[in-house]
Amino acid sequence: MPGVDTLSGLLEAVAEFRTDDYELPVGKTALDRARRSLEETGLLLLGEVHGVRENPLVVLGLMRALDLTHLALEWPENLKPQLDVYLSDGTGLDHPLWWLGDGRVTAGHFAMLKAIPELSVTLFDGGMFTGDWSQRDALMAERVLAARIEPALVVAGNAHTLTSPTELGLPMGACLASARPAVESVRIQYGNGSYYNIEPRVSRGYAAVAGLYATEEELLVGLPEFSEATVPHLPVELLRDRLGL
């Protein structure tokens, strides 16, 4: 589905998103490594491509497989009061920051959050893009550590969950690995499909194995096929007006 631009349309998509019949295939070696990361560091990282419908199902599958109730998301931290309202009574989704359209927030996420009993959620994006990529990631890592939510699954874009420096700079994952050297990062490996990030996009990759599995180098969740998420997205001009910019 393309981006949705009305609250009624978003709520309808949330209601239609099914979580009760999803089961993530899990390999024993990978599960043991994920558990070890949580036991030794309190954290497990998950890197995604934003705007994929199946992303929140992967989150749900990992939370269930690892018996977790603490989840940290790369969402603006000042949306936490609105998120708490949503989790309480299903409202609170009219704040303009829900509607940026970059795929971090999808209808499936809201359905997934309701499906996890006794869930505690931390939001760790400060929302200020200074142009310094590494600085933003360092601040996100600081917020995750300061939240003291261990054991927790920490979900962000896959450029941010790598545990070593990249050409973009020093990712959040590398900052967390500096503080917690045994932390593991799971990367969602996408095959062929579509996703929504500001606009509909198509990606052709390779993922032969479905579910959580391990290689010598990393932990992966294979999604051989994936589809476009329903993403709340308002025009830039309307967002600026509602945000007072």
Is residue 2, in this structure, part of any structural domain at all? Answer: no
User: Quick one: DSSP state of residue 142?
Assistant: H
* pLDDT category of residue 243 using cuts at 50, 70 and 90: confident
Is residue 49, in this structure, part of any structural domain at all? Answer: yes
Check pLDDT > 90 for residue 17. Answer: yes
* pLDDT category of residue 36 using cuts at 50, 70 and 90: very high
Could you give the number of structural domains in the chain? 1
Q: What residues make up the domain containing 135?
A: 7-243
Is residue 37, in this structure, part of any structural domain at all? Answer: yes
37-81 pLDDT, tens per residue? 999 999 999 999 999 999 999 999 999 999 999 999 999 999 999
Q: Tell me the C-alpha to C-alpha distance, in Å, between residue 20 and each of 33, 71, 114, 140, 152.
A: 26, 19, 11, 32, 22
Q: What is the mean pLDDT of the chain?
A: 95
Q: Where are the alpha helices (DSSP H) in 90-235?
A: 107-114, 133-147, 172-179
Is residue 148, in this structure, part of any structural domain at all? Answer: yes
Is residue 144, in this structure, part of any structural domain at all? Answer: yes
Is residue 84, in this structure, part of any structural domain at all? Answer: yes
Report pLDDT for 245: 75
Q: Give the C-alpha separation, 135 to 133, whole Å.
A: 5
Q: Give the C-alpha separation, 180 to 47, whole Å.
A: 17
* pLDDT category of residue 208 using cuts at 50, 70 and 90: confident
Is residue 14, in this structure, part of any structural domain at all? Answer: yes
Is residue 138, in this structure, part of any structural domain at all? Answer: yes
pTM exceeds 0.75: yes
Q: What CATH number should be reported for the domain holding residue 196? A: 3.40.50
